[in-house]
Amino acid sequence: MKKICLSVGLLLSLMRVGYTQPLDKPPYEPRKLKVDEINLVSSYYQQDGNKSAVTGGIGTEYLTDFAQSIDLVLKSTDAKNRQHSLAFDLNIDHYTSASSDKIDPLTVSSASRSDTHIYPSVSWSVHDNDRRTTQGVALSYSTEYDYKSYGVNVSFAKASADNNREVSLKAGAFFDTWKVILPAELRPEGYGSGAHGDTDPVDYKPRNSYNVSLSLSQVINKRLQVLFTVEPAFQQGLLSTPFHRIYFQDGAETVERLPGSRLKLPIGLRLHYFMGDRLVVRTFYRYYIDDWGMQAHTINLETPIKLTSFVSVSPFYRFSHQTAVRYFSPYGEHRSTERYYTSDYDISGFNSQFIGTGIRLAPPGGLFGIGHWQSVELRYGHYTRTTGMVANSLTLLAKLK
């Protein structure tokens, strides 16, 4: 908490310095609400491994996910020359998870369980160029087989007079409800499976999340830009996953059990360096700590290179190291006297690497002579963990204006 207070004080001090600059009032051209930008994203993700939490830290982690996203941005200018942006975002993921078959092998007939995750959102923001402020609000909804979520976010940003510095504050809250699905062999008498058509009752539990993001961006010179962020978050409710099995040293079996609250503190620093007209070096470092005992370091490097006036490639690399939460032990190593226990390797200690590249086409007259089709980008990434999990992703992005 001391670190948070010092960071807030530093950001507010820098913000006051920035406000001593003279005002600049570039005029707006009044215009009605109209479509400004459309972004289309399609992606395919596949992973495999042999440490599934559903079966207590052993067994297949095979999973596929096919995702579609459309982002529609409309803009207008009001009588006070303020720019309004209205954005609609719809995401649909269809995934298969082989380990989910193991929750209840008697009621699942497919080789791998599948589900569809839908999460639309809408946001509205207002940019006042005279006051150099931007404020906004966003609402979101998410649903899939065993949970529903409602979210709200508010944001405020203010830039310095020369627009070289900006301080922004965001706050969000998400209210989730989880269906408590238990492994078949651990259900009490009369407890339902949660499957469609099963009339036996199941429990529902809340999981609420609250987060704040404070950031300061600064243009150091024409080549170097810096961004510093602090993003504390707090969760409470059902934070364990009830269909994750646990196997104790004596062979007994139960379900995952974790504390009912979690405080997280990520701190990030981003540097962008423009090396002439053809090369940009983008770096990002994040330090993470929480009250479950996990610490993590992540460093990301991406270097967009312009090959021609409309073709660029963006090789990237990310390395991450994290320590395990204090409640983690592998399959069969927990003691029955422990208060909390998990064998989920997502919160174990490991190193991971993510490497890949993207290629982007953005011809001046539009793609294939279509003036509104501004750009298209294809990105491939390969992910590995020291726990043995391997994943690949392929993403196609198209922008129309």
Mean pLDDT across 38-67: 95
Confidence of residue 368 (pLDDT cuts 50, 70, 90): confident
- Predicted local distance difference test score (pLDDT) of residue 108: 52
Mean pLDDT across 130-143: 96
- Predicted local distance difference test score (pLDDT) of residue 113: 73
- Predicted local distance difference test score (pLDDT) of residue 107: 60
Residue 2 lies in a domain: no
Q: Which tokens is 248 given?
A: 């104790």
Residue 34 lies in a domain: no
pLDDT greater than 90 at residue 106 = no
pLDDT greater than 60 at residue 5 = no
Residue 35 lies in a domain: no
Confidence of residue 277 (pLDDT cuts 50, 70, 90): confident
- Predicted local distance difference test score (pLDDT) of residue 257: 97
pLDDT greater than 80 at residue 349 = yes
- Predicted local distance difference test score (pLDDT) of residue 102: 84
Non-local (6+) Cβ contacts of 357 within 8 A are 313, 314, 315, 316, 379, 380
Query: If residue 16 lies in a helix (H) or strand (E), which one and from where to where?
Result: helix 2-18
- Indicate the SS3 state at residue 3: helix
Q: Which tokens is 322 given?
A: 């994290």
- Predicted local distance difference test score (pLDDT) of residue 204: 95
- Predicted local distance difference test score (pLDDT) of residue 42: 97
Question: Computed from CA positions of residues 340, 345, 350, 352, in that sequence, does the dihedral angle turn out positive or negative?
Answer: negative
Q: Which DSSP letter does residue 362 get?
A: -
pLDDT more than 90, % of the chain: 77
Question: What is the C-alpha R_g of the chain?
Answer: 24
pLDDT more than 70, % of the chain: 90
Higher pLDDT, 195 or 239: 239
Q: Closest Cα partner for 355 from 382, 389, 328, 332?
A: 382
How do residues 22-47 score in pLDDT, each as one tens digit?
A: 445 555 566 778 899 999 999 999 99
Query: If residue 297 lies in a helix (H) or strand (E), which one and from where to where?
Result: strand 295-302
Rounded to the nearest integer, the mean pLDDT of the chain is: 90
- What values do phi and psi take at 308, rounded to 5? -135, -170
Residue 19 lies in a domain: no
Q: Which DSSP letter does residue 308 get?
A: S
- Predicted local distance difference test score (pLDDT) of residue 28: 55
Residue 213 lies in a domain: yes
- Asked if residue 302 lies in contact with residue 316, where contact means CB atoms within 8 angstroms, the answer is yes
pLDDT greater than 80 at residue 14 = no
Q: Closest Cα partner for 181 from 192, 170, 169?
A: 192
- Predicted local distance difference test score (pLDDT) of residue 396: 97
Residue 382 lies in a domain: yes
What is the rounded distance in angstroms from the CA atom of residue 335 to the CA atom of residue 99?
24
What is the rounded distance in angstroms from the CA atom of residue 353 to the CA atom of residue 320?
6
pLDDT greater than 60 at residue 326 = yes
75-79, 260-264, 367-371: which range is least confident on average? 367-371
Higher pLDDT, 49 or 97: 49
Residue 346 lies in a domain: yes
19-23, 210-214, 246-250, 350-354: which range is least confident on average? 19-23
What is the rounded distance in angstroms from the CA atom of residue 388 to the CA atom of residue 51?
8
Q: Which residues pair with 155 in a beta bridge?
A: 136, 170
Residue 5 lies in a domain: no
Q: Which residues pair with 318 in a beta bridge?
A: 300, 354
Number of domains the chain is built from = 1
Which CATH number covers residue 193?
Answer: 2.40.160
Query: Which structural domain, as residue segments, surrounds residue 394?
Result: 41-400
pLDDT greater than 80 at residue 395 = yes
pTM exceeding 0.85: yes
- What values do phi and psi take at 309, rounded to 5? -70, -20
DSSP string for 23-90: P--PPP-----EEEEEEEEEEEEEEE-SB-TTTTS-B---EEEEEEEEEEEEEEE-TTSEEEEEEEEE
pLDDT greater than 70 at residue 13 = no
- Asked if residue 377 lies in contact with residue 39, where contact means CB atoms within 8 angstroms, the answer is no
Torsion-angle region of residue 380: left (phi > 0), alpha (psi -120 to 50) or beta?
A: beta
- Predicted local distance difference test score (pLDDT) of residue 192: 87
What is the rounded distance in angstroms from the CA atom of residue 38 to the CA atom of residue 125?
17
DSSP string for 210-273: EEEEEEEEEE-SSSEEEEEEE--EEEEE--S-TT-EEEBTTS-EEE-B--SEEEEEEEEEEEEE
- Predicted local distance difference test score (pLDDT) of residue 329: 98
- Predicted local distance difference test score (pLDDT) of residue 12: 40
What is the rounded distance in angstroms from the CA atom of residue 266 to the CA atom of residue 277?
33
